[in-house]
Amino acid sequence: MRAARIAIDGDGPVARSVLRALAGRDDLHLVAMNATGHPHEVDTGVPRLRVRDARRLPWKRHAVDIVLDCSGRDARDHLRAGARKVLSCTSSGAAADTTVVYGINHRALRDSHLHVHSACRATHCIAPVARVLHDALGISNAMLTRVHSRPHDAEPEPAATARRAGAAEHLHRVLPELDHCFDETEPMRIAGAYASLVGMVFIARRASTADEVNGLLHAAAAGDWSDIVRYGDTPFTTALCDRDTRSCIFESGWTQVSGRIVKVCAGNHGDLGYAHRVVDTARAMHRPPSP
């Protein structure tokens, strides 16, 4: 199958990280970028557009297979402009055909999914942890708390709406067997490192220990989840680097267990890990898994 023809719409940090994540890929071919604000820093040799009206974007002329929308535009405008599919990389995704966290539910992608939402960074961070622990211990109820330091990490909606449309809501979409198990507090902001954390406190269906919980995530990070999950046993703000492409860093030092009550934390550093999952999802959209 030929390489997918990709376009990027947007000029923020996520768009720039997606551009980095696309570098060197031979299965995804970047053919155009649209940035109405600051131009992209990397010279890719592809056309750089400055189109504000999405309906006028030349996606049909460039034969774009998938638009990676990092601008928050209406996906229908990209489709009307000639794109075959749209992958939204912003907080809004309620109107999408499906929400995907690569590694969790990307195998459910079908060619009929024209508008796919890539969830948020926090969801990509905690979803692998929730998947592993639910399979082993069972999750009956859980509370999420996001801690971050950057203004653009916050949802643009008011706090009450943000809780419904944030990581908890996205988890319900990608882990439907845990529908309505998750709730979420208002995000907390901290000054300092360019990093984010997600804490999850949940009631397991059986008693466990911190050693068991950490052992489950250690095995996952060393096995099938190695490209997505990193097992951390050093302080979060010093353990990561800007080149790490994993989207979930499990923080074993903060695991606490009291009978069936479990507290775990996972984090990420910048947008690069999330951007790599976006690119992985785009590849899966172009070559959807067989039913």
pLDDT band at 169 (very low <50, low <70, confident <90, very high): confident
d(CA 185, CA 202): 13
* Closest C-alpha to 264, from 196, 207, 217, 195: 217
Among 107-116, 153-162, 243-252, name the one with the lowest average pLDDT.
153-162
Higher pLDDT: 240 or 177? It is: 177
Give the HSE-up count for residue 249: Cα atoms under 13 Å, Cβ half-sphere. Answer: 26
Q: Which range is least confidently modeled, 11-20, 92-101, 231-240, 251-260?
A: 231-240
The pLDDT of residue 67: 97
User: Which is higher by pLDDT, 268 or 14?
Assistant: 14
The predicted pLDDT at position 266 comes to 93
For 171-175, what is the mean pLDDT? 90
Per-residue pLDDT band at 187 (split at 50, 70, 90): confident
pLDDT > 60? residue 260:
yes
Judged against a pLDDT cut of 80, whether residue 43 lies above it is answered with no
pLDDT at residue 163 above 60? Answer: no
Give the mean pLDDT of the chain. Answer: 86
pLDDT in tens, 208-249: 999 999 999 999 999 999 999 999 887 655 455 667 899 999
Which ranges in the chain are annotated with CATH 3.30.360.10?
121-270
Contact 141, 212 (CB under 8 A): no
Helix (H) or strand (E) holding 7: strand 4-9
- Over 60: is that where the pLDDT of 107 sits? yes
Measured distance between the N- and C-terminal CA atoms of the chain, rounded to whole angstroms: 18
pLDDT at 19: 93
CATH topology for 4-119+274-286 is: Rossmann fold (3.40.50)
Enumerate the CATH 3.40.50.720 domain ranges in the chain, comma separated.
4-119+274-286
What per-residue confidence (pLDDT) applies to 243?
A: 75
Q: Which of 94, 220, 108 is nearest to 166 (CA)?
A: 94
Mean pLDDT value of segment 273-283: 96
Which of the four pLDDT bands, split at 50, 70 and 90, describes residue 47? Answer: confident
Token digits of residue 144: 């999420």
Residue 161 has pLDDT above 50, yes or no: no
CATH of domain 121-270: 3.30.360.10
